[in-house]
Structure 1
């Protein structure tokens, strides 16, 4: 259960606040927030950003958002007033310009601009804001031709359209169908199926070898447009190649598509396998046979390699990469949004130390 305080602005001016609860605990899951708020105010709304929270770990607690109304709303009389929520950093247009780390979609007019851009390419009947936080803004778009996703990502992350184009050149079945793109914006057809948070062995056996096959092919291409993370491993006969960067089953769809490529970078492929194992946990990984499926897939492409030895080194190294990534997030996002990632670099370093102690 999440307690929501919505600080509502219209034309970049504060007009009042609304309080309610939603079942979903996750702070960046804003679809239930705007759905309830639209009902209360009778106008379309969009969440701009997180202002404060009493919770931790990206979930639960009392969460305050800055919310933009598409037309002037009437705040219900039974809603409490929050005079302390009227400072210039929430209400004043000029103050918006003095937040250099604020993302474009977190500023007044930002979500609407993303939808308007998408509407240049598909006829949008209904736009639903699904997710927003410091790493992305995601809309589900209903059209007469089916469902699409419009997504915007920050400049410090990989450009998803560039990465998916590279993957598509070797295996189109692995990535969403991108119908339009602009710097940091992607319009995609909705991928079939559901997210695979709790994958079966069949799902693992379907997706992992296909991604390994794509990585084996991409390794021979020019990857200079993809950044590196600066964490090197013994090759053990495997090539440096494109990494998804956040290769866990929550980013897989049951229809076989892999999503969310903004963490992509160039490096040793065992790092992706290590990320997957760390995410599901050792017990589940052993039950699903992830290490063996991944290693066997690489042995088909590099028979003289030693994937399992590479994976031993990659287990702690993947957490070093995680520490770098989380620190980059903290360095590149505004103060109020840092609560999403506080303590994560230190936690990743602790995990890296623990796993390193197990190496021979």
Structure 2
């Protein structure tokens, strides 16, 4: 559904893109830019079939920089006109002019040498890639209920600056970052695991102490390990093979075994023994009297309680049309927590 300044100007017939993920909008705007001949940006998801953030058929509200010559304004009498009433829960980047405002903010700090590319947008972030003379930079906007990523990155950088992206500019709910080297690590190589996991443990050991961020309210028996900074979504898809960890919006304070449990849940089965061993050995170097394995055993259930809280927070703070991204997630997480707790208690 195409809009200019929030006004519906037409609809593009369905088309197929290679990516199955609803929030992966780079191929969507690439197609629309070519078909319409004007720059486009996805504002938000209007509807979707299927579930789980992928596949099926989706409808987006898309903003055009200007009405293209080849598209006629719909006649209201035909019933083809659509209104897009605002809602208090709509994200700033999902409103008319929102994506352009993010790019304009980034351009106050860098000089763009080519088109800004909208890579992702949904209820948790809007992400643009901007080319510059010194390489790509990434502009990100995120909601107020997420952690302040610049603040979290600064905490980590004080211990290991190479573990986090370089921040070029920041303001509340916005972040401009230099590109992190390497590729995403959904299937991390052993050398990446043995690099990132001990470094993250070292950061957590250095930052251990009184809470400096929010506390989720889910605990794990200590077994000699301290409360510290948690990434909150420490799966390998948030790692870069160059040794950087991204996406710190879920950060909070708690037991470090929760991050390890999150990682192990997402990691390919063949890498899990190496992750568990590397994580436990790293913590024993910092806390020789600790029992990381027993803590991790309890965290396998508790991490799903955290997940239920997080997903419910998302649902409570996003507009109706985008709830499909997270619908049923709190219930699924609670079921997993119960299942894992039964397994732990039976040992």
TM-score bracket, normalised by the shorter chain, equals over 0.9
User: 1:315 offset after TM fit, Å?
Assistant: 0.4
Q: Where does residue 279 of structure 2 map in the other structure?
A: 294
Which of 2, 11, 14 lines up with 2:8 in the alignment?
Answer: 14
Is residue 108 from structure 1 mapped to residue 96 from structure 2 by the alignment? yes
User: 1:284 offset after TM fit, Å?
Assistant: 3.9
1:91-102 paired onto structure 2 within 5 Å = 95-96=85-86, 99-102=87-90
User: 1:74 offset after TM fit, Å?
Assistant: 3.3
Is residue 214 from structure 1 mapped to residue 209 from structure 2 by the alignment? no
Q: For residues 19-77 of structure 1, what are the alpha-carbon distances to aligned partners after superposition, in whole Å with 9 as ceiling and x for unaligned?
A: 22111111000000000100001000000000001121111111100000112223458
Q: Where does residue 112 of structure 2 map in the other structure?
A: 124
- SS at structure 1 position matched to 2:96: coil
In structure 2, relative to structure 1, the CA distance for the partners of 1:43 and 1:310 (3 Å cut) is same
In structure 1, the gaps of 5 or more residues are 1-6
Counterpart-to-counterpart distance in 2, 1:168 and 1:245: 17
In structure 2, the gaps of 5 or more residues are none
Q: For residues 337-357 of structure 1, what are the alpha-carbon distances to aligned partners after superposition, in whole Å with 9 as ceiling and x for unaligned?
A: 000001111111111111100
- SS at structure 2 position matched to 1:51: strand
Q: Where does residue 164 of structure 1 map in the other structure?
A: 153
Q: Where does residue 124 of structure 2 map in the other structure?
A: 135
Which of 177, 180, 197 lines up with 1:188 in the alignment?
Answer: 177
TM-score by length of 2: 0.95
Is residue 59 from structure 1 mapped to residue 79 from structure 2 by the alignment? no
TM-score by length of 1: 0.92
Q: Where does residue 232 of structure 1 map in the other structure?
A: 219
Q: Where does residue 149 of structure 1 map in the other structure?
A: 138
Is residue 45 from structure 1 mapped to residue 30 from structure 2 by the alignment? no
Contact (CA 8 Å) 1:16, 1:75: kept in 2 or not? Answer: no
Counterpart-to-counterpart distance in 2, 1:348 and 1:25: 23
Is residue 345 from structure 1 mapped to residue 330 from structure 2 by the alignment? yes
User: 1:87 offset after TM fit, Å?
Assistant: 3.4
Counterpart-to-counterpart distance in 2, 1:127 and 1:273: 36
Counterpart-to-counterpart distance in 1, 2:62 and 2:79: 16
Counterpart-to-counterpart distance in 2, 1:64 and 1:285: 38
Superposition RMSD in Å: 1.7
Q: For residues 180-223 of structure 1, what are the alpha-carbon distances to aligned partners after superposition, in whole Å with 9 as ceiling and x for unaligned?
A: 00101000000001000111111111100000000000114x64
Counterpart-to-counterpart distance in 1, 2:330 and 2:136: 37
Which of 248, 259, 265 lines up with 2:252 in the alignment?
Answer: 265
Contact (CA 8 Å) 2:204, 2:228: kept in 1 or not? Answer: yes
User: 1:305 offset after TM fit, Å?
Assistant: 0.6
Q: Where does residue 266 of structure 2 map in the other structure?
A: 279
Which of 144, 163, 167 lines up with 1:178 in the alignment?
Answer: 167
In structure 2, relative to structure 1, the CA distance for the partners of 1:65 and 1:84 (3 Å cut) is farther
- SS at structure 1 position matched to 2:11: strand
Contact (CA 8 Å) 2:10, 2:71: kept in 1 or not? Answer: no
Counterpart-to-counterpart distance in 2, 1:104 and 1:232: 34
Contact (CA 8 Å) 1:316, 1:352: kept in 2 or not? Answer: yes
- SS at structure 1 position matched to 2:305: helix
Q: Where does residue 321 of structure 1 map in the other structure?
A: 306
**Structure (1 or 2) with the greater strand fraction:** 1
Contact (CA 8 Å) 1:105, 1:111: kept in 2 or not? Answer: yes
In structure 2, relative to structure 1, the CA distance for the partners of 1:17 and 1:87 (3 Å cut) is closer
Q: Which runs of 4+ in 1 moved over 6 A?
A: none
